[in-house]
Amino acid sequence: MYATTLAIVLQLAATAADPADAKQGEVLDAIRARLAALEKNDTAAWSRWVADDMITPLEGDTPSKAAWIKTHAAWPREVAYWYGPLLDPKVRIHGDTAVVVYHAQQFTKVGGQTTSVHKWQIETHERRGGRWQLVGVADATIPPEPVAVKLDAATLDAYVGDYEWSPTMVSKVRRSGDALSEEIAGQGTTSYLAENDTTFFVPGAAASGDATRVIFVKNAEGRVTHYIYRDFGATDRIVKKVR
């Protein structure tokens, strides 16, 4: 009797927890089905998982779905495009809408040569006609993690000092062993590793798509005058050394 009661309780608990997990699983299954059709360049199967009004950032005069089908239908047999496994997928369900974030390697094969790029992908899906369909998508390239080099203490010490972003926002660059750290009041501390003699990066930041670099600049006398804060796609910011 006890065993039967316990089994019923556990089944009820599992049933109560199932709906959200089941929906998330359905969304991921829909994505994998779409990508499997993509790998086969099966536009008919791919279309089942994509809404006719799907939108992408680069949509032109032709709706995104129609433009995609036209492009892929024209590919010769020697061209193949596919995704690797979905990595770190996250799903948020809001009624009949789901927002999904994941990253994956994307492969292109042309003439026997295969290239790849690692990207974050953000997708919005709606449940329509009994299935989850893609209604919006955007992606961003994940740059490779730079290879750190070791600089001597004298080189690192030359970069130590206070740097002015604005009169009321001054950062302090300090040496921490073989690395540099930068502290801005109220903003926390950032650690940097050297990519070369003058260029530094934030270790691990590339995984989020961050390609920021801090590039120290010296004058003709060899004194550090400022650093360039360079963010891919943005204009450079000059941050003067004030002490």
236: pLDDT strictly greater than 90: yes
- 224: how many CB neighbours lie within 10 A of its CB? 17
Q: Give yes or no: residues 132 and 174 share one domain.
A: no
Indicate whether 148 belongs to any domain.
no
The residue ranking higher by pLDDT, 146 or 75, is 146
CB contact set of 75 (below 8 Å; sequence gap of 6+): 41
Q: Which of 80, 115, 141 is the last residue of a domain?
A: 141
Residue 203 gets which letter from DSSP?
T
Domain that holds residue 194: 153-241
Q: Which of 141, 167, 190 is the last residue of a domain?
A: 141
Q: Binning pLDDT at 50, 70 and 90, where does residue 209 land?
A: confident
Q: Give yes or no: residues 160 and 122 share one domain.
A: no
Q: Give yes or no: residues 101 and 219 share one domain.
A: no
Indicate whether 146 belongs to any domain.
no
The CATH number covering residue 112 comes to 3.10.450.50
What does the pLDDT average to over 219-236? 94
CB contact set of 187 (below 8 Å; sequence gap of 6+): none
CA-to-CA distance for 53 and 47, rounded, in angstroms? 11
- pLDDT digits 0-9 by tens, 156-203: 999 999 999 999 999 999 998 999 999 998 888 999 999 999 999 999
Q: Give yes or no: residues 94 and 204 share one domain.
A: no
Q: How many domains does the chain have?
A: 2
Indicate whether 147 belongs to any domain.
no
Exposure of 94 in the CB half-sphere (CA atoms within 13 A): 7
Indicate whether 88 belongs to any domain.
yes
6: pLDDT strictly greater than 50: no
- 213: how many CB neighbours lie within 10 A of its CB? 20
Q: Give yes or no: residues 124 and 38 share one domain.
A: yes
pTM given for the model:
0.76
204: pLDDT strictly greater than 80: yes
The CATH number covering residue 196 comes to 2.40.128.50
Q: Give yes or no: residues 167 and 218 share one domain.
A: yes
